[in-house]
């Protein structure tokens, strides 16, 4: 399999706190890689580094064959690595359509307002009826869908999803999982996906990477990861603890 | 009528301040100084170089755009994220520009020739009237142009994206630094435009920028932060308030009426007419 993203010894300190400690992670083209870990494990920090939002202290990040650790966010987005944020961040007073149009500017120099791809995206995500609504008037689920549509509008090769399931009810989670699987199949996108809803990620991901206190504990198939004693210890504490 | 004309001009100058405040989170106290620079440039291009007044106006705006780019690059860029510093810097800049204007253009009022030769043929009060009409309609025209630019073009879309969430805009591949640079240049050119259209009616002295900066802020509070429609409504409201106040109460206090209205708006509708956030 072809490696699409590779981190080598990525480390980051916030003051005296080692947030990421020599993380070596390889992501292969076409897979859905789940990224899990307790609060404060460094998951979002890793995303921030991958997308260029914050600089790393040491190590390298290679995406699509180029080193990107010194590139700016918009340059990385141009390469095809696009992220969503943990808290939904639509452009509030733009309509859904305009929100997506903004992202279209990246891959097409002159997208028209009637760009068919926008309709196609709205349709496939299932928010076509909301196209002319302002983003701030949408429900949480609708906003999340809109954000995924916006990220997809940049025609990414690698998509970083930061807790897209948080705050959704079980029905919505199932809906979202189906959406992700559909996207991978149709658009041939590689996805790294941070998630706290374990059930969702075990069901969807091809491999799961576990971060704990800034260190990469293990990367393996979901079934192996959930039976890994080390992982259980991190999540539930030691079995024989007094 | 007078109120509407003044309103259009107020709206035009406030549009620049609003753009800078919205996109860059910078409160620009030197806006009025760019306005007088616009007036002086158009004066010198048309009187000293003998250019056609309309052409001189366009060249003056182009010049101001470049000056805006230069100032963003040198002074404003380092203050992003620190509103206090940007306020201090633009305040100092305003004083510096005033004094530069004083040294290079002198303390006497300067008045570029009128845009239209036709207006010269009118005499008495009508001469004044036609001039103002031209000033008002060209402000309105420029304002509409600006509105369409922000709402309908791709670049305008990028500007709005950066204004609403710069980090997210970067994440979808927008070069926000460049957007800010151009926005500042544009805002300065808008201030200059206001100076160009207004100066044939109101000759400028080096300190006449200050009241304009103030009124621009009043207009923004009226209309609501970050709303372009609000700028127009706020501008017209201020223009009318000042004029009706002067007409029916006293010309002595023409500016007071605007501020009374301002206090009212802050008390009863603190987000402005169209604003939805502060």
Tens of pLDDT, residue by residue over B226-270, are 677 888 888 888 888 887 777 777 766 777 777 888 888 888 777
Comparing CA positions, the residue from B198, B193, B160, B196 lying closest to residue B179 is: B160
Test B172 with A102 for CB contact under 8 angstroms.
yes
> In this complex, which of B164, B172, B173 lies closest to A93 when CB atoms are compared?
B164
Range from A21-25, A209-213, B20-24, B119-123 carrying the lowest mean pLDDT: B119-123
> For B92-145, how does the pLDDT look when each residue is reduced to its tens digit (9 = 90+)?
988 888 888 888 877 777 776 665 555 444 444 545 566 777 778 888 888 888
What confidence category does residue A242 fall into, taking pLDDT thresholds of 50, 70 and 90?
A: very low
Q: What is the pLDDT of residue B120?
A: 45
Test A89 with B176 for CB contact under 8 angstroms.
no
Mutate to test the interface with A, among B152, B161, B171 (most CBs of A within 10 A): B171
Q: In chain B, which residues have their Cβ closer than 8 Å to the Cβ of A91?
A: 160-161, 164-165, 168-169
What confidence category does residue B209 fall into, taking pLDDT thresholds of 50, 70 and 90?
A: confident
> In this complex, which of B158, B173, B276 lies closest to A78 when CB atoms are compared?
B173
Contact (Cβ atoms closer than 8 angstroms) between residue A33 and residue A192: yes
Q: What is the pLDDT of residue B278?
A: 37
Test A74 with B175 for CB contact under 8 angstroms.
yes
> In this complex, which of B157, B160, B171 lies closest to A77 when CB atoms are compared?
B171
Test A74 with B174 for CB contact under 8 angstroms.
yes
Size of interface A-B (CB pairs under 8 A): 67
In chain B, where are the structural domains located? 2-209
Q: Is the pLDDT of residue B148 over 60?
A: yes
Q: What is the pLDDT of residue B244?
A: 79
Range from A78-92, B155-169, B250-264 carrying the lowest mean pLDDT: B250-264
Question: What gap in Å lies between CA B50 and CA A61, rounded to an integer?
Answer: 60
| Average pLDDT estimate for A226-231 | 82
Question: What gap in Å lies between CA B212 and CA B195, rounded to an integer?
Answer: 10
Sequence-ordered list of residues with C-beta below 8 angstroms from that of A105, at least 6 positions apart, any chain: A111, B154, B157, B158, B172, B173, B174
Exposure on the CB side of residue B238, measured as CA atoms within 13 A:
34
Whether residue A154 lies within 8 A of chain B, CB to CB, comes out as: yes
Test A74 with B158 for CB contact under 8 angstroms.
no
Whether residue B180 lies within 8 A of chain A, CB to CB, comes out as: no
Question: pTM value?
Answer: 0.78
Whether residue A79 lies within 8 A of chain B, CB to CB, comes out as: no
Question: What gap in Å lies between CA B243 and CA B248, rounded to an integer?
Answer: 8
C-beta atoms surrounding B84 within 10 Å: 9
Whether residue B176 lies within 8 A of chain A, CB to CB, comes out as: yes
């Amino acid at each position: 399999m072809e490696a699409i993203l590779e981190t080598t010894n990525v480390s980051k300190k916030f003051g005296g706190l080692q947030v990421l400690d020599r993380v070596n992670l390889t992501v292969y083209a076409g897979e859905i890689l789940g990224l899990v870990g307790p609060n404060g494990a460094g998951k979002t920090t890793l995303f921030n580094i991958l997308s260029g939002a914050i600089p790393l202290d040491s190590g390298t990040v290679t995406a699509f064959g180029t080193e990107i650790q010194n590139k700016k966010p918009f340059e990385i987005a141009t390469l095809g690595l696009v992220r969503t944020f943990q808290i939904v961040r639509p452009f509030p007073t733009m309509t859904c359509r305009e929100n997506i149009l903004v992202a279209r500017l990246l891959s097409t120099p002159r997208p028209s307002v009637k760009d068919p791809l926008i309709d196609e995206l709205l349709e496939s995500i299932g928010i076509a009826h909301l196209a002319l609504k302002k983003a701030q008037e949408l429900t949480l689920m609708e906003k999340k869908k809109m954000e995924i549509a916006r990220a997809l509008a940049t025609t990414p090769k690698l998509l970083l999803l930061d807790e897209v399931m948080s705050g959704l009810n079980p029905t919505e989670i199932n809906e979202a999982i189906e959406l992700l699987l559909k996207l991978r199949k149709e658009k041939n996108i590689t996805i790294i996906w941070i998630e706290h809803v374990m059930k969702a990620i075990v069901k969807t991901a091809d491999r799961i990477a576990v971060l704990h206190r800034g260190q990469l504990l293990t990367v393996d198939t979901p079934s192996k990861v959930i039976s890994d004693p080390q992982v259980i210890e991190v999540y539930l504490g030691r079995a024989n603890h007094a | 009528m007078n109120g509407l004309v003044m309103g259009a001009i107020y709206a035009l100058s406030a549009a620049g301040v609003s753009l800078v405040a919205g996109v860059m989170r910078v409160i620009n106290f030197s806006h009025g100084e760019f306005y007088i620079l616009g007036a002086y440039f158009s004066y010198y291009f048309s009187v000293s170089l003998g250019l056609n007044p309309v052409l001189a106006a366009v060249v003056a705006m182009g010049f101001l755009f470049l000056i805006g780019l230069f100032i963003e690059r040198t002074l404003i860029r380092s203050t992003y994220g620190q509103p206090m510093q940007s306020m201090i810097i633009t305040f100092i800049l305003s004083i510096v520009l005033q004094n530069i204007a004083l040294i290079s253009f002198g303390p006497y009022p300067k008045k570029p020739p009128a845009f239209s030769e036709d207006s010269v043929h009118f005499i008495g009060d009508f001469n004044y009237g036609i001039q103002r009409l031209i000033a008002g309609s060209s402000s309105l025209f420029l304002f509409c142009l600006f509105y369409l630019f922000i709402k309908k073009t791709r670049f305008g879309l990028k500007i709005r994206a950066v204004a609403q969430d710069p980090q997210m805009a970067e994440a979808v591949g927008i070069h926000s630094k460049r957007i800010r640079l151009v926005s500042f240049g544009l805002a300065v050119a808008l201030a200059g435009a206001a100076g160009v259209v207004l100066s044939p009616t109101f000759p400028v002295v080096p300190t006449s920028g200050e009241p304009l900066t103030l009124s621009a802020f009043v207009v923004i509070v009226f209309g609501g932060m970050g709303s372009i429609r609000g700028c127009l409504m706020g501008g017209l409201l201020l223009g009318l308030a000042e004029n009706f106040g002067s007409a029916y109460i006293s010309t002595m206090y023409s500016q007071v009426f605007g501020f009374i209205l301002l206090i009212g708006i802050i008390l009863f509708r603190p987000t402005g007419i169209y604003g939805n956030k502060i």
